Amino acid sequence: MRTKAILLVSSIALLSAQALAQTDGRNWLPVPGSPNGPKFHVTSVVDPDTEMAMASGRVDRDAAKEWCDGAGKGEDCVEKVLADNKAKEARATADCAAGSIYATDIKQYEIGESDGQAIRWQDPNGKDVDPSSEWGQALTRQWKVLCPSGRPAKQARPQVAAVPKPAPATKPETPAPVRSATQEQVEESDTGPAPVRSVPTPSAAPVPVAALNPSQVNGSAYDHNGSVMRIDVEQGVIVYEEPKASLANVVRPGTVLFRGKIGYPRPGLKITGTAYAFKSGCTPASYPVTGRYSADNSEIILTGAGPTWNGCGYTLTGRSKHSTLRFRSMISP
């Protein structure tokens, strides 16, 4: 599947560019269930054309006005639309090399066969999605936002580890106590007490997150809130090598926590890039951070307005527990 996807990238990129050229106005992310609603204009695209491309969109004033004008609504329409969609955000991620997308409906799709005219997708059950259907076209639009140019097959890339399937549930030896059927919510906590866990609903499914093959990540080991991290200066990434037990359902070895410009240890050397926060069942939140090595190179501290979760939605604020990321070298002085 991966080989087929890479071979299709060049033709897909051309199709994407042609389709974008025929589209007027700002780019946007389609959301399921509201084909005739206001558009979610793209507000950010992080790491496009990579194995961890992310995009988000919101209904802004331009989108609200466009929808209201088209619907022939009154003067108060724009403010009402903005108020109704204030807390909503569309998000999608993609592995542009493997040809897979985690769409705004929180489902993963893979590139199928292409007839040279349209991108064909396969749903999570392996069934073809009609490219002329509303959702088939919506998937292609999301792909164009995340992977606008594709990546030539001749370019070498770090191997992306496959997303493991969750292990089947085993029957407990003693009856479990009756608990609330609230979806599991486990967050990476950078400061404060251990994360709070609640019981997942039977329908809750883990969100796949892109990860590098741990064997291809080199560099020094650092402690981050109880997890062993590996900082690879050459690739510009900080990844989980041994996540702490409380994060077992959220991240895995190789999951990228930071991507950007790191540089070899030097007191005061500036570090810039994008950090990712994770929550069980949700698309990772991305946010810009900056930081420096400590005077003795034993510590890295990254700061930036981090996500405060509300369900699977979030807002970026300096009061977030993800706003400060601290990494301590595990090499004895």
Domain residue extents for the chain: 2-146, 214-329
Q: How far is CA 218 from the centre of its chain?
A: 23
Out of 68-72, 115-119, 183-187, 205-209, which region has the weakest mean confidence (pLDDT)? Answer: 183-187
Question: pLDDT value at position 8?
Answer: 44
Closest by CA position to 91, among listed 324, 325, 307? 307
Question: pLDDT value at position 116?
Answer: 63
Closest by CA position to 91, among listed 38, 46, 24? 46
Torsion 133-49-53-7 (CA) sign: positive
Confidence of residue 244 (pLDDT cuts 50, 70, 90): very high
Question: pLDDT value at position 181?
Answer: 33
Q: What is the spatial distance between Cα 290 and Cα 275, in angstroms, rounded to a whole number?
A: 9
Residue with more model confidence, 196 or 40: 40
Strands of the 90-95 sheet, one edge to the other? 28-29, 40-46, 53-58, 90-95, 100-102, 108-111, 121-122, 128-129
Q: What is the spatial distance between Cα 226 and Cα 214, in angstroms, rounded to a whole number?
A: 18
Identify the H or E element spanning 276.
Answer: strand 270-277
Token pair for residue 176?
């479990």
* Per-residue pLDDT at 105 exceeds 90: no
Token pair for residue 109?
């799709």
Paired strand residues for 144: none
Contact 188, 250 (CB under 8 A): yes
Question: pLDDT value at position 96?
Answer: 82
Region 34-55 average pLDDT: 82
Confidence of residue 209 (pLDDT cuts 50, 70, 90): low
Length of the chain: 333
Residue with more model confidence, 90 or 77: 77
Give pLDDT tens digits for 113-143.
Answer: 766 667 889 888 889 999 889 999 999 999 9
Question: pLDDT value at position 275?
Answer: 93
Q: What is the spatial distance between Cα 153 and Cα 147, in angstroms, rounded to a whole number?
A: 14
Token pair for residue 113?
């066969």
Closest by CA position to 104, among listed 165, 154, 73, 145? 145
DSSP classification of residue 201: P
* Per-residue pLDDT at 208 exceeds 70: no
Question: pLDDT value at position 115?
Answer: 61
Token pair for residue 261?
């410009």
* Per-residue pLDDT at 4 exceeds 50: no
Confidence of residue 201 (pLDDT cuts 50, 70, 90): very low
Region 57-67 average pLDDT: 91
Region 176-196 average pLDDT: 38
Q: What is the pTM of this model?
A: 0.48
Contact 174, 306 (CB under 8 A): no
Q: What is the spatial distance between Cα 129 and Cα 131, in angstroms, rounded to a whole number?
A: 6
Question: pLDDT value at position 26?
Answer: 73
Question: pLDDT value at position 243?
Answer: 94
Question: pLDDT value at position 240?
Answer: 94
